[in-house]
């Protein structure tokens, strides 16, 4: 192989290995590394770590390899250059000017990003096509930018890993993934915690200096580009190295050391980040405060009768085999409803339905993602650190609301207007015995409007009624869980349904259209034979926004919830504090179901019910109880706040907003409660004790 052709890879690779070596040495002598490392152990760390770094760089250089693979002068020759340029211009016209293209359907800043990318590509290709004398100069500029981005990533990653280690004493884990998700909060924390401008200035200066050195040493390689045969040889060699790297990295990860610090220093941050991203879990017992396990479980289970995980729920009254339709509404904050002070009149139907329903006025979602809401309503368990159970590998054969209905002879389905493979919903619900009705189930004639998230809610409403008509003829009761989609960015929907245009792309429009679709659903349902024997549960999956002054702003978790059934559920308001995980156990209580339960939510009408709510992000786990918020976080942090309602003209039970005042003196029994619930839940999930 001609080494001249791979000089850019060699120079970048050596720089990456030197930075990684320096980082490991810093970790070894860092004050937080207090476990003590023997000489042989240190040598093993450095050697195994070096091998891991080599294989990681091979994989990371894939983008650079593709960049060189597509460098060519022949593509600018007639007629190929003009054909390619024409296709690029057509792509630019599509992304920038065609209404309803795939990028504009998504909404947000995505259309602008796509247009900018295609526009830049078109511009650069056009310059190199029509200005052949400037081709080398333009190519050098692009090559410099490519090198700059690689060097910046290497240096920025090293700095990030240092600060991450400084705070958590480990390489990247799910917290790092969490930081990418909560960008606003993380950037704010960084701005307040570190001298950002001097730090970034040093990073940029160092990146520029290193890039200039590598550029000067390698830029001549762009003068004589490899021919097709040489590219094939280089590509084949690179693919073999990538395969070897994919095989070798898990083997190196399996090389164990005698202590956790050594294991973490030996590892490479990029594979750790990838593992955290794909496995979606954060080890509770490594990062959070703990109690003796038996003590934690005993304390948590005191709220149940009998106080054990698997317990018999006995009604004493005849079971009612009514149909059940659970509608979880996308991003419906409580403050969208007039009941909570909203004056925009964007939920007229839900407000009218609430007056005829059992309404939960003080209900809190467990998280701020759809999968968290689905987890709470399906598994009825508190949230755990990391991703929702729905997105984890071990997500099947769980004890679910669907499994209770199935044990009673119900047909059980999950209805979703989009493609249910999104967010792993299909895998989860199929793996737990649900039949799936999603966009794949629709005929073209059944779709009047759709965007990137799925068919319009009114189309799903019509489909749902048709399915329930079929189920009603079977003679078996049915349980259908419908997850709406229209109240989601880009907030597009059919024109003429409500007084907010469908192309306005406003949150209020999305809310009002979903309210319209629900009205239409109930109007159709009321005409069906199964309607009078059906209970409807309507609840939000989460709020529209989770940003606030604290890590868990309480008002950003309050959601509406109601149970409606004409002639069966008497209209009333339940004003006590409750969690999203309590909704379905309460429904089973209304239906007088006898079953062996592993739910960690409670029937709110039982004498043993304890008012409380669980709210969480991916790493901050909170308990609301007795007008206090207790939050436990990684590195075993504990924070507590007193919750004081802000002044409002609303009745006390409808007040939405709280001042979260940090406590100077801890309330120890609430810390005990908080640790007990999250530790117990994490342990039971780990040991598969929440399976059927």
Flag whether pLDDT at 691 surpasses 70.
Answer: yes
Could you tell me which residue, 644 or 293, shows the higher pLDDT? 293
Question: What total of structural domains would you count in the chain?
Answer: 2
Flag whether pLDDT at 238 surpasses 70.
Answer: yes
Do residues 317 and 259 both lie within one domain?
A: no
Do residues 343 and 314 both lie within one domain?
A: yes
Flag whether pLDDT at 104 surpasses 70.
Answer: no
pLDDT tens for residues 517-537? 999 999 999 999 999 999 999
Flag whether pLDDT at 153 surpasses 80.
Answer: yes
How much of the chain, in percent, has pLDDT values that exceed 90? 59
Could you tell me which residue, 346 or 32, shows the higher pLDDT? 346
Complete DSSP assignment for 598-663: --SS--TTSTT----EEEE-SS-EEEEETTEEEEEETTTEEEEEEEEEPP-SS-GGG---EEEEEP
At residue 295, φ and ψ (nearest 5 deg) are -70, -45
How much of the chain, in percent, has pLDDT values that exceed 70? 91
Of 228, 252, 279, at which residue does a domain stop? 279
At residue 616, φ and ψ (nearest 5 deg) are -160, 155
Do residues 262 and 308 both lie within one domain?
A: no
189 located within any domain: yes
For residue 304, the SS3 value is coil
601 located within any domain: yes
90 located within any domain: no
Flag whether pLDDT at 624 surpasses 60.
Answer: yes
500 located within any domain: yes
Q: What is the pLDDT of residue 279?
A: 67
With beta carbons less than 8 A apart as the criterion, state whether 578 and 611 touch. yes
Of 234, 254, 279, at which residue does a domain stop? 279
Q: What is the pLDDT of residue 554?
A: 92
Do residues 536 and 417 both lie within one domain?
A: yes
CATH number of domain containing 548? 3.40.720.10
At residue 83, φ and ψ (nearest 5 deg) are -65, -45
pLDDT band of residue 465 (cuts 50, 70, 90) is very high
Could you tell me which residue, 491 or 402, shows the higher pLDDT? 402
Could you tell me which residue, 679 or 100, shows the higher pLDDT? 679
Q: What is the pLDDT of residue 1?
A: 47
Do residues 302 and 251 both lie within one domain?
A: no
Do residues 337 and 458 both lie within one domain?
A: yes
Do residues 637 and 554 both lie within one domain?
A: yes
| Rounded Cα distance, 582 and 245, in Å | 48
| Rounded Cα distance, 431 and 403, in Å | 11
pLDDT tens for residues 474-530? 989 999 999 999 998 788 899 999 999 988 889 999 999 999 999 999 999 999 999
120 located within any domain: no
Could you tell me which residue, 83 or 5, shows the higher pLDDT? 83
Average pLDDT over residues 573-593: 97
Q: What is the pLDDT of residue 185?
A: 47
Flag whether pLDDT at 102 surpasses 60.
Answer: yes
pLDDT tens for residues 379-399? 999 999 988 999 988 999 999
Domain of 666 in residue numbering reads as: 293-686
Other beta carbons less than 10 A from residue 288's beta carbon = 23
Average pLDDT of the chain is 89
Do residues 262 and 323 both lie within one domain?
A: no
| Rounded Cα distance, 33 and 259, in Å | 10
Q: What is the pLDDT of residue 107?
A: 56
Do residues 267 and 325 both lie within one domain?
A: no
pLDDT band of residue 653 (cuts 50, 70, 90) is low
Flag whether pLDDT at 105 surpasses 90.
Answer: no
- Minimum mean pLDDT among 254-263, 307-316, 329-338, 507-516: which range? 254-263
Do residues 408 and 383 both lie within one domain?
A: yes
pLDDT tens for residues 175-219? 666 666 555 545 555 665 567 788 889 999 999 999 999 999 988
For residue 353, the SS3 value is helix
CA neighbor of 382 nearest in space, from 612, 600, 557, 684: 600
Q: What is the pLDDT of residue 597?
A: 97
Do residues 310 and 243 both lie within one domain?
A: no
Average pLDDT over residues 36-62: 86
With beta carbons less than 8 A apart as the criterion, state whether 425 and 390 touch. yes
- Cβ-Cβ contacts under 8 Å for 384 (sequence gap 6 or more): 284, 621, 678, 681, 682, 685
Task: Annotate 568-604 with b (16+ C-beta within 10 A) or e (fewer).
Answer: ebeeebbeebbbbbbbbbbbbbbbebebebbbbbbbb
81 located within any domain: no
Flag whether pLDDT at 353 surpasses 90.
Answer: yes
pLDDT tens for residues 246-302? 999 888 887 877 666 777 888 888 888 887 777 667 789 988 999 999 999 999 999
Do residues 218 and 301 both lie within one domain?
A: no
Of 279, 309, 328, at which residue does a domain stop? 279
| Rounded Cα distance, 542 and 556, in Å | 9
488 located within any domain: yes
> What count of residues does the chain have?
692
138 located within any domain: no
């Amino acid at each position: 192989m001609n080494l001249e052709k791979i000089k850019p890879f060699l120079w970048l690779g050596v720089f990456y290995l030197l930075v990684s070596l320096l980082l490991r040495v810093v970790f070894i002598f860092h004050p937080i590394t207090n476990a003590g490392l023997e000489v042989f152990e240190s040598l093993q760390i450095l050697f195994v770590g070096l091998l891991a770094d080599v294989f990681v760089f091979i994989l990371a250089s894939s983008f650079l390899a593709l960049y060189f693979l597509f460098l060519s002068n022949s593509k600018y020759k007639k007629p190929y250059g003009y054909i390619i340029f024409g296709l690029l211009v057509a792509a630019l016209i599509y992304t920038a000017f065609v209404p309803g293209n795939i990028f504009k359907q998504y909404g947000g800043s995505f259309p602008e990003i796509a247009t900018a990318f295609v526009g830049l590509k078109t511009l650069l290709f056009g310059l190199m096509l029509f200005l052949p004398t400037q081709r080398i100069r333009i190519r050098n500029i692009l090559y410099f930018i490519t090198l700059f981005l690689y060097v910046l990533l290497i240096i920025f990653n090293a700095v990030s890993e240092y600060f991450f280690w400084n705070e958590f004493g480990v390489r990247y884990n799910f917290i790092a993934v969490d930081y990418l998700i909560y960008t606003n909060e993380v950037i704010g924390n960084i701005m307040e915690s570190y001298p950002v401008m001097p730090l970034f200035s040093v990073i940029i200066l160092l990146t520029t200096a290193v890039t200039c050195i590598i550029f000067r040493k390698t830029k001549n390689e762009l003068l004589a580009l490899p021919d097709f045969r040489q590219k094939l040889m280089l590509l084949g060699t690179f693919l073999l190295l990538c395969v070897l790297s994919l095989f070798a990295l898990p083997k190196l990860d399996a090389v164990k050391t005698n202590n956790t610090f050594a294991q973490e220093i030996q590892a490479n941050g990029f594979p750790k980040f990838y593992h955290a991203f794909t496995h979606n879990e954060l080890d509770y017992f490594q990062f959070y405060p703990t109690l003796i396990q038996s003590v934690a479980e005993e304390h948590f289970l005191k709220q149940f009768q009998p106080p054990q995980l698997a317990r018999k729920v006995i009604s004493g009254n005849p079971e009612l085999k009514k149909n059940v339709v659970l509608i979880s509404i996308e991003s419906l904050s409580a403050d969208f409803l007039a009941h909570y002070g909203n004056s925009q009149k964007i939920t007229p139907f839900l407000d009218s339905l609430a007056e005829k329903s059992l309404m939960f006025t003080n209900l809190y979602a467990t998280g701020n993602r759809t999968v968290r809401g689905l987890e709470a309503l399906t598994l009825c368990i508190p949230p755990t650190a990391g991703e929702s159970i729905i997105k984890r590998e071990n997500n099947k054969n769980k004890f679910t609301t669907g499994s209770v209905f199935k044990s009673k002879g119900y047909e059980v389905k999950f209805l979703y207007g989009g493609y249910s493979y999104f967010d792993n919903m299909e895998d989860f619900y199929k793996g737990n015995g649900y039949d799936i009705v999603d966009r794949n189930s629709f005929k073209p004639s059944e779709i009047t409007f759709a965007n990137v998230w799925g068919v319009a809610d009114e189309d799903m409403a019509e489909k749902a009624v048709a399915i329930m008509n079929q189920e009603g003829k079977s003679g078996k009761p049915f349980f259908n869980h419908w997850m709406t989609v229209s109240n989601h960015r880009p907030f597009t929907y059919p024109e003429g349904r409500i007084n907010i245009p469908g192309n306005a792309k406003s949150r209020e429009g999305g809310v009002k259209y979903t309210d319209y679709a629900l009205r239409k659903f109930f109007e159709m349902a009321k005409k069906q034979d199964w309607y009078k024997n059906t209970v409807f549960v309507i609840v939000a999956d989460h709020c529209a926004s989770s940003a606030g002054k604290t890590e868990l702003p309480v008002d950003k978790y309050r959601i509406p919830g109601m149970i409606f059934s004409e002639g069966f559920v008497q209209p009333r308001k339940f004003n006590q504090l409750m969690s999203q995980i309590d909704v379905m156990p309460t429904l089973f209580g209304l239906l007088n179901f006898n079953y062996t339960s592993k739910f960690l939510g409670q029937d709110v009408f039982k004498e043993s019910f304890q008012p409380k709510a669980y709210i969480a992000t991916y790493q901050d786990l909170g308990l609301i109880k007795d007008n206090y918020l207790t939050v436990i976080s990684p590195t075993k942090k504990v924070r507590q706040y007193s919750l004081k309602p802000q002044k409002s003209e609303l009745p006390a039970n409808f007040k939405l907003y709280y001042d979260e005042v940090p406590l100077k003196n801890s309330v120890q029994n609430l810390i005990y409660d908080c640790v007990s619930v999250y530790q117990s839940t994490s342990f039971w999930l780990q040991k598969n004790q929440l399976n059927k």
